[in-house]
A and B are shown apart, each in its own frame.
Chain A
Amino acid sequence: MIALILRRIAQSLPTLFLVVAGSFFLIRLAPGGPFDLERPLPPAAMENLRRVYGLDQPLIVQFGRYLLSLLRGDLGPSFTFRDLTVTDLFARGLPVSLTLGSLALVLALGLGLALGSLAAFDRGGIADRGVGLAASLGLAVPNFVTAPLLQIVFGLGLAWLPIGGWADGNPRNLVLPVLTLALPHAAGIARLTRASLGEVLIQPHIRTQRAMGLSRARIARHALRGALLPVVATLGPLAAGLMTGSVVVETIFGLPGIGRYFVEGALNRDYTLVMGTVVLVAVLVIVFNLIADLIAAALDPRVRLSA
């Protein structure tokens, strides 16, 4: 297993390099710079600023320097948040995004698996159709529609929950954003579970179990183990996407996560912040994919052999 992990990390290095190089040169090619203000700075001051941040060097030298500092784990100073490094910003925002993301992941998994199994065991029945309809709605309604709807119903109409803000992670403030994040993924997982469980339930070994008179709960346990594989395979990208924060949800609910850093950083030409976010996301995608693969290997011996 250690060998597998090491090999996967080695395999992911070219991807990581490509991500860093691609975004580095893309952002430097873009017109505008981080110090363009409404009133232009005097040329001498601009010159000084550029020298301090090393922007006066040739691009390839800057790239080399960035790679070196990246190897040391240093993401550099932010260009727009004065006196803060990108690492500082992540230290503030990442806990928020991780809390929201992990809660949403748990909710999406629980809801999706439960509804998907319900539909699979009741193929063609009322529950199946209901879940199918709910799932296709959940997939089609974008989160920037769900979020304001939840706000107006539970925040303004019923006044049960606050419509936004972080409030140091007060659980009441988390409900609506987590729900917004989780619903589309719950729908996706429900569909996937229904399909894969449906395939498993027509297999001969399940028929044998039925014939032997095993209880429904026992059969469900056997079937779910096989049906979980495709679900687990999607978990890697899904978890990475949820953990790295959502621009939409964080903007609408006014949460201080890292999802907003990227778009704001790009708009302000905050080179290091944009780069840092991209690197963070790429690393998280790789890590979560690895974890998902390890879970898959634990579930299915065939995956273990071929890995």
Chain B
Amino acid sequence: MSAALAHRARRRLARDRPALAALASLMLVALACLIGPFLTGHPPERIYPDFVRVPPSLAAHPRSDELRPALQRLAFRMRASLEDVAQEGERVRLTLTAPKPIDERSLRLLPRSGLFGEAQVLERSADGRRLVVEAPIRRLYFLLGTDALGRDLLTRCLAAGRVSLLIGLTAALAALLIGVAYGAVSGLAGGTVDALMMRVLDILYALPFVFFVIMLLVFFRAGLWLVLVAVAAVEWLDMARIVRTQTLSLKSRDFFRAAIALGAGTGTILLRHAVPNMLGPIIAAATLLVPRVILLESFLSFLGLGVQEPATSWGVLIAEGSRALESAPWMLAAPAGFLVVTLVALNRLGDGLGEALDPRLQRGLDQRDSAGR
């Protein structure tokens, strides 16, 4: 891509408000997925049995009406019964009784539940069967609610986003490399080789690829890497076409013919002359490739063939959410929201880049204006 084109493209893109908004929201989503899981206060795998299918809210948990049931469950596991609970601001005071002396080591269950801090024994009866304990209440926030196991949905969505974005970028990159190599070689070689390579491409186009991908994943236990390979293997075809067409049009240009006449090697021609001059359309097509890859991955994960537990992706979360739709609609809404925002933004950015990087477009715009309405 020449410096002039890059400069003009940047100027054009800077005027394209929706594309800029798309870029900004993409960076926001990516940043949130990268560092977000450390900031939400919950590890993605942390299960809170006391907070199953909590709806999204800004309020801190445990709420005062949730204190007693949570403590009752804990007391049961300490082999004691809860006699009295009193909340004093940030702390809770509880009285435990049991038929046998209470082992104070079992008080470790309180902080381990994630709901309370370190417990202090205030009073202990002589026979050890009655205990008064005070513990600070921790404040837990579930901004997007929790799932059917009691895991924080926001953290899970962000952690899943890492996997979805990673697969999207890596598979798109792989598809890009295969497609560029195939298309450039085909276009440069020309003649019989080109015809043959295009015939192969035609045959591949007609293959029901998704079926092969599904077969691969069903037969050879799905995993992250297999999904990546499978998706990349499907999506490189369009790229090969685009690059071939570009190469063919480049071949008739003077500077290109000069390079060949000067005896430059195939590798040099490919890397120094062909690829840089085709970078614009390639970048635009690659940007549009990423959402397709993410969508394909989430489709496979929805079928249970893609990313497997404990790893998670937006597709996995959406599948879980659609099963719990009646009782917990936020379980579908949250991951679907992340997915849709990302896909819309990527599509919009790809379109914007395509327009900004298209050297013919300046003329097209002028024509459109002069055509009038």
Hey, which bits of chain A sit against chain B, CB under 8 A?
12, 14-15, 18-19, 22-23, 26-27, 29-32, 123, 136-137, 139-142, 144-145, 147-149, 151-152, 156, 198, 201-202, 207, 247-248, 252, 262-263, 266-267, 274, 277-278, 281-282, 285-286, 289
Contacts and interface: CB of A to CB of B under 8 A. Distances in A.
A274 B215 contact: yes
Contacts, number: 112
Interface in B190-230: 202-203, 206-208, 211-212, 214-216, 218-220
Contacts of A22: 207, 212
Q: Is the interface of A mostly helix, strand, loop or mixed?
A: helix
Given A15-B207, A248-B302, A145 B318 contact: yes
Interface of B: 202-203, 206-208, 211-212, 214-216, 218-220, 291, 295, 298-299, 302-303, 305, 318-319, 322, 325-326, 329, 332, 336, 339-340, 343-344, 347-348, 364, 367-368, 371, 373
Nearest to B351: A136
Given A147-B322, A278-B208, 9 more contacts: A15-B206, A26-B212, A27-B215, A27-B219, A123-B373, A145-B339, A262-B211, A266-B218, A278-B211
A216 to B, nearest CB: 11
B215 A266 contact: yes
A140 B344 contact: yes
Contacts of A152: 325-326, 329
A141 B340 contact: yes
Given A263-B218, A286-B206, A140 B211 contact: no
Given A148-B325, A266-B214, A285 B340 contact: no
Contacts of B291: 140
A26 B319 contact: no
B298 A142 contact: yes
A289 B322 contact: no
A139 B347 contact: yes
Given A156-B326, A202-B368, A282-B207, A144 B319 contact: yes
Contacts of A123: 368, 373
B52 to A, nearest CB: 20
A142 B347 CA distance: 14
